[in-house]
Structure 1
Amino acid sequence: MTPPLNLTNTNPSLITFEPFTLPPTNQRTLTTPHPPHTQIPLALKPSSSSPNPTLETTIQTIQTLQKTNTLTTLLSTHGTLLFRSLPITSATSFSTFTQAFGFHPHEIIGIVVNRPTLAPNVSPANEAPPHIRIYNHNESPQVPHAPGYVFFYCQKAPKGNSGGETPISSSLELFNRVKKEIPGFVEELAEKGILSRVVYKWGKQYEGGSTLREAFGKEILDGEDEETKKQKIEKQIKRYGRGEWTRFEWVDDDHDAEGQSLVVTHQLPVIRTQSGTNLPTLFTGLAAYYRNKLGAAKGGKAERKNVATQLYGDGTDIPEEYLAILARITDEIRVLHKWEEGDVLVFDNVIAQHGREPWEGEQGDRVVLASLYDGECVPGAYGSQGWVQVVKALGG
């Protein structure tokens, strides 16, 4: 068990965080390669010696802890932190809390979900309808430029046992389980990576999804002609900075009244390495992709629409039996976080996955906000091929 995070006896106004235990459905002890007794998530709340903390003392405490990278280090071990019983009550106070960690705000290039801004670097987590299940994934696995840290804040929780939990799992543990059960899959991923072929349309492809302008059109002005819009979109794609490993083409689309659709193809590493430990991690949404595709084939309505096609890097299909085992292992190692209003979950996006369970009721019965930040560096390479190293996006 992690000891209380004592700061200094000379400043009693700061908070002492203490770990607490969650039900086994919400928290579990991780296996290899995590250190013994490592829990996901690590749950923290103010100790009895720090009653009724204010937002100001909360921010001061986080900033003090981060002077020695205390919370960043805990994230690199546990993958996910839960903060409970803090005075976070709005998008604005959530924004202030996240900024106290000292990370650099993440700019999403090629976003596939719609995230309108509610406060500085704060947006809705996902606006897909309540019946849609979003399976475990690392944030933005279908594009090269992904955030290092993901914050979620529960502004409103579904009542009772109506659902809406957030799944949590370790990408490090996932790699080790998959390598043990299907080593051939790991070998193929290491050799080939994946081709992620993402389709963007001027119109919204599904409820909660993004448009082409939301994905790449931050410099587009109303009334500009089609050629100017395309040039500005292509400029944003080139910011990925990956040369031949990211390609794009404009295609005619009879179903998009506003113009041609855009297809962007990335050759990406699924296996990446954690900075500092060099441990391999599965950075992926392949289990979600498989479950969505399977559900759609069966006529299911609970799965999120796939806007990206996922293939091996050489363009061949990924065997379905591999994806089925990957999805099963993901289910076996995840926990479901049952939200309480005011909860904040913080993910190290390189080594932890998240998702969203459906809930009964209306869209407004569950309100979870998100804030994304870049890591100190990008994940390391697993192999020596040209496509295995992701890079930070070039400046806008």
Structure 2
Amino acid sequence: MAASSSTTGNLLPFQPFSLPASNQRTLGEPHAPGTVIPLALQLSPERAAGHDATSSLDAVVTTIKQLADRGDLDAALRRHGTLLFRGLPIQKADDFSRFAHAFGYKPHEIIGIVVDRPLLAKNVAPANESALTTTIGSHNESPQVPHAPAYIFFYAHRVPEKGGETPIGSSLEIFNKVNQEVPEFIQELAEKGVKQTTIYKPNAQYKGGSTLKQAFGKLINDEDSDEVKRQKIEDQIRRYNRPAEYTSWQWNEDGGITLEHILPAIRTQPGTGIPGFFTSLAAQYAQKKRTPDAERLRTVRDTTYGDGSAIPERYLDVLLRVTEETRVLHKWQRGDVLVYDNRIAQHGREPWEGKQEDRQVFASLWDGELPGAYGTAAFAQVVPALPDIQV
């Protein structure tokens, strides 16, 4: 990804480098031969030697903008799914924000957030604040709602001595392998979709969780009546822009709300039409296998087929095994930035030893072209969210 000197002047060239096998692997079909995940990039050591610009965030941002304008970064993400940038002069949330904004994407608005993400810098928030002992299995970001980001950026501000790795895997490769083993599972997902049921309560249900107001109540004022508050929450839900048979809700006695979506668990890559999973099914199933129900069933309920019937465990066993066999675990170094194309790549989080604050990873979410539908079912169509309501 080196820039031509005739067109870029003093712009900084990024060069690929290799990671340990546990952290980087060659992808199988449908990826092109020799495609690795993640593509690891660093500034050219030769260029860095004695070159003051390599320590300048301004120079890095200028270079990223140039590469983005040429389409180089989009092309790399379409092929590899995930990029690692190492050795950048990023020291804080504001630096990370500048780097992420240089890609030129549109900031993603989370409608119906289930975790607490306080703003640290422009379009930057903590990635996840759940307990350090919690394993977060491989998943695409926001599969439980219709409006999901296209890109996710992660920046390692602090890293633990042991553990805390971030899984990386290809949704396209997982789909291809599962389809070879249990094509009937793929057929059922295409025909029925999945039902995602999420319960939002007035108060956070666990450490790092969101409240109902954080999820849908950003336009609520303290002086609003209960009726007006409910109306504003429902107006935000309607921004998902979906028919009532695919997105519905009911109010609960405690003042919370239960929200149901019938969604596609398979979507297609923009530009290629290649199908891939877009789901947290494997992560939820793994959590179910290792965690008692009383601790597990807090915010997100078990996922079923769209008609409410249970997904056979023999299918979920295959999906979980393939997901774990094809992933790598990114061992963070301080200052690392991972960029995911969320439409075709999955991420997660491993537990770590030490203290909660030993691992601080910041996230930045961005929109892009919508993925396509797999199959002809109406629920499979991915539609843009409606603009925010003006008050």
TM-score relative to the length of structure 1: 0.94
Q: Give the deviation of 1:148 after TM superposition.
A: 0.2
Change (3 A) 1:49 1:14: farther
Partner Cα separation in structure 2 for residue 181 and residue 381 of structure 1 = 22
Letter in 2 for 1:380: G
The answer to whether the Cα contact below 8 Å between 2:165 and 2:349 also exists between their aligned partners in 1 is: yes
Letter in 2 for 1:275: P
The answer to whether the Cα contact below 8 Å between 2:205 and 2:299 also exists between their aligned partners in 1 is: no
What is the aligned partner in structure 1 of residue 123 from structure 2? Answer: 121
Change (3 A) 1:223 1:7: farther
Q: Give the deviation of 1:192 after TM superposition.
A: 0.4
One of 94, 103, 106 as aligned partner of 2:105? 103
The answer to whether the Cα contact below 8 Å between 2:117 and 2:128 also exists between their aligned partners in 1 is: yes
Q: Give the deviation of 1:215 after TM superposition.
A: 0.5
One of 383, 386, 391 as aligned partner of 1:394? 386
The answer to whether the Cα contact below 8 Å between 1:15 and 1:53 also exists between their aligned partners in 2 is: no
What is the aligned partner in structure 1 of residue 256 from structure 2? Answer: 261
1:324 equivalent to 2:317? Answer: yes
Q: Deviations over 1:322-348 (max 9, x none)?
A: 112211111100000000000000000
| 3-state DSSP of counterpart to 2:379 | coil
What is the aligned partner in structure 1 of residue 305 from structure 2? Answer: 312
Matches within 5 A, 1:54-203: 54-159=56-161, 162-203=162-203
Letter in 1 for 2:276: T
The answer to whether the Cα contact below 8 Å between 2:3 and 2:11 also exists between their aligned partners in 1 is: no
One of 349, 373, 379 as aligned partner of 2:371? 379
Range with greater deviation from structure 2 (270-279 or 320-329): 320-329
Letter in 2 for 1:269: P
Letter in 2 for 1:231: Q
What is the aligned partner in structure 2 of residue 6 from structure 1? Answer: 3
Letter in 1 for 2:289: L
Letter in 1 for 2:233: I
Letter in 2 for 1:105: P
Q: Give the deviation of 1:392 after TM superposition.
A: 1.2
Q: Deviations over 1:226-266 (max 9, x none)?
A: 2111111000000000122111110213xxxxxx2201111
TM-score relative to the length of structure 2: 0.95
Letter in 2 for 1:169: G
One of 315, 326, 330 as aligned partner of 1:333? 326
The alignment of Structure 1 onto Structure 2 pairs a total of residues equal to 382
Q: Deviations over 1:5-51 (max 9, x none)?
A: 23334544211100000000000000000000000000000002331
1:296 equivalent to 2:298? Answer: no
| 3-state DSSP of counterpart to 1:172 | helix
Matches within 5 A, 1:218-297: 218-244=218-244, 245-253=246-254, 260-297=255-292
Q: Give the deviation of 1:390 after TM superposition.
A: 1.3
Q: Report runs of 4+ in structure 1 exceeding 6 Å deviation.
A: none
1:28 equivalent to 2:5? Answer: no
Partner Cα separation in structure 1 for residue 150 and residue 297 of structure 2 = 24
The answer to whether the Cα contact below 8 Å between 2:153 and 2:365 also exists between their aligned partners in 1 is: yes
Q: Give the deviation of 1:224 after TM superposition.
A: 2.5
The answer to whether the Cα contact below 8 Å between 2:199 and 2:299 also exists between their aligned partners in 1 is: no
The answer to whether the Cα contact below 8 Å between 1:293 and 1:306 also exists between their aligned partners in 2 is: no
Q: Give the deviation of 1:363 after TM superposition.
A: 1.1
Q: Deviations over 1:197-225 (max 9, x none)?
A: 11110111111111101110110112432
The answer to whether the Cα contact below 8 Å between 2:100 and 2:153 also exists between their aligned partners in 1 is: yes
Q: Give the deviation of 1:136 after TM superposition.
A: 0.3
What is the aligned partner in structure 2 of residue 211 from structure 1? Answer: 211
Partner Cα separation in structure 2 for residue 14 and residue 251 of structure 1 = 57
Partner Cα separation in structure 1 for residue 374 and residue 106 of structure 2 = 25
The answer to whether the Cα contact below 8 Å between 1:132 and 1:304 also exists between their aligned partners in 2 is: no
| 3-state DSSP of counterpart to 1:167 | strand
What is the aligned partner in structure 2 of residue 45 from structure 1? Answer: 42
Q: Give the deviation of 1:154 after TM superposition.
A: 0.3
Letter in 1 for 2:91: T
Letter in 2 for 1:96: R
RMSD: 1.4
What is the aligned partner in structure 1 of residue 51 from structure 2? Answer: none
What is the aligned partner in structure 1 of residue 335 from structure 2? Answer: 342
Letter in 1 for 2:380: V
